């Protein structure tokens, strides 16, 4: 009896720790996003790659952001889903002059993802590409690409999609949708952050130049893959066309970036990690610190005190010249007086008249 109670207490503790860790991950990761002044390109037109096997869940492609090069395409891919959980895609939302990224997450229900039509079960509201039945995931063959040879848990259910636009953001000028009451409730559920292979998948996309919108003009060469990070092979799908005509932005990524936010979709930009000069000049930051301003002010004050404490400051050069010019007439007068006295001493003195005769008499 005691042993069974011990096992029961241990099981309760393990469940509690799991729930707490799950909610902690949600609060730390789900609300993390970025803001830019440039809107994302339209979603490209592409086919879904075939499902690799049972247990895989489709995660649609999206435009991510790099502070160095702007938007780049993260291909849609199949991911082994946590049992019982569904994927809510991330989306861009426009407001107050900025496009803000809302990262995706795993949860028991699909929440709000901006009303964006990502296709293949993600028509803008909810998910119709499959459902969990116990520990097994069943696929709706009417909207997802599965092979019954590899995947036998399938069913067919018609899905009507009203939104056929390829707009990739929510808000004025895009898809103006608002979350339903159920979606608001789903957002308050415990969530799980993107899986590590999803983050690696995005990171690999950020290093592929052909995936940047500045290179592919909204039509990426790799639009979908069979597995995360699998950018080569027979399960690669190219984009058939750009969702809309591509327009190059009029400002650089650095100018478009909001200075108050930090990072890209799932994680911080690896290109800027560990580089203190990536976004601003560290010397400028150092010179603007209060303690450095005080040091500069003290040094300037000390220098002024040293200058004022000199007893006999040297007169400027111009003052010396003026003094010499003022003394020149005085020197000339003194020289004339000396010459006159010398000439007077050199002349003979005249004898007094009548003095000699009077003495002889």
Per-residue pLDDT reduced to its tens digit, 210-257: 999 999 999 999 999 999 999 998 889 999 999 999 999 999 999 999
Q: How distant is the alpha carbon of residue 93 from its chain centre? A: 17
Asked whether the beta carbons of 127 and 121 are under 8 A apart, the reply is yes
Phi-psi region of 94 (alpha: psi -120 to 50; beta: other; left: phi over 0): beta
pLDDT above 70 coverage of the chain, percent: 62
Average pLDDT of the segment spanning 279-306: 40
Reading the block at residue 253, the tokens are 């990524």
Q: Taking the chain, what is the end-to-end CA distance rounded to the nearest angstrom?
A: 177
Q: How distant is the alpha carbon of residue 12 from its chain centre? A: 42
Q: What is the pTM of this model?
A: 0.66
- The CA-atom distances, in angstroms, between 125 and each of 16, 90, 104, 130, 179 are 32, 13, 14, 14, 9
The number of residues making up the chain comes to 361
Asked whether the beta carbons of 221 and 239 are under 8 A apart, the reply is yes
Which of these, 48, 126, 121, 131, lies nearest to 85 by C-alpha position?
131
How far apart CA 55 and CA 351 sit, in angstroms, is: 149
Asked whether the beta carbons of 201 and 228 are under 8 A apart, the reply is yes
How many other CB atoms sit within 10 Å of the CB of residue 81?
A: 19
Q: Is 342 helix (H, G, I), strand (E, B) or coil?
A: helix
Q: What is the pLDDT of residues 138-167, one digit of tens each?
A: 999 999 999 988 899 999 999 988 778 899
Q: What is the pLDDT of residues 313-349, one digit of tens each?
A: 444 444 444 455 555 656 666 766 666 666 556 555 5
């Amino acid at each position: 009896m005691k042993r069974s109670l011990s096992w029961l207490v241990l099981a309760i503790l393990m469940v509690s720790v799991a729930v707490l860790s799950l909610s902690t991950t949600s609060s730390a990761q789900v609300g993390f996003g970025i803001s830019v002044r440039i809107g994302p390109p339209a979603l490209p037109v592409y086919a879904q790659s075939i499902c690799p096997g049972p247990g895989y869940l489709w995660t649609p492609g999206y435009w991510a952001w790099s502070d160095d090069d702007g938007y780049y395409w993260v291909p849609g891919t199949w991911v082994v889903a946590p049992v019982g959980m569904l994927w809510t895609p991330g989306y861009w939302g426009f407001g107050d002059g900025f496009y803000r990224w809302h990262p995706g997450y795993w949860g028991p229900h699909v929440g709000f993802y901006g009303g964006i039509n990502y296709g293949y079960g993600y028509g803008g509201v909810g998910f119709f590409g499959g459902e969990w039945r116990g520990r097994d995931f069943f696929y709706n063959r009417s909207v997802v690409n599965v092979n019954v040879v590899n995947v036998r848990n399938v069913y067919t259910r018609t899905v009507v999609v009203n939104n056929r636009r390829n707009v990739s953001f929510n808000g004025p000028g895009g898809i103006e949708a608002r979350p339903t009451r159920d979606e608001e409730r789903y957002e308050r559920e415990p969530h799980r952050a993107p899986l590590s292979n999803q983050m690696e998948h995005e990171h690999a996309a950020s290093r592929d130049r052909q995936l940047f919108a500045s290179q592919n003009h909204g039509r990426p060469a790799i639009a979908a893959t069979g597995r995360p990070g699998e950018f080569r092979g027979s399960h690669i799908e190219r984009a058939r066309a750009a969702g809309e005509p591509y327009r190059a932005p009029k400002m650089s990524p650095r100018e478009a970036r909001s200075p108050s936010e930090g990072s890209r979709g799932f994680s911080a930009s690896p290109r800027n990690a560990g580089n203190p000069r990536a976004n601003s000049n560290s010397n400028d930051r150092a010179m603007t610190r209060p303690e450095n301003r005080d040091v500069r002010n003290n040094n300037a004050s000390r220098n002024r005190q040293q200058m004022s404490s000199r007893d006999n400051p040297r007169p400027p050069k111009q003052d010396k010249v003026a003094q010499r010019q003022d003394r020149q007439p005085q020197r000339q007068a003194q020289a004339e007086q000396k010459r006159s006295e010398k000439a007077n001493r050199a002349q003979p003195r005249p004898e007094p008249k009548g003095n000699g005769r009077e003495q002889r008499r």
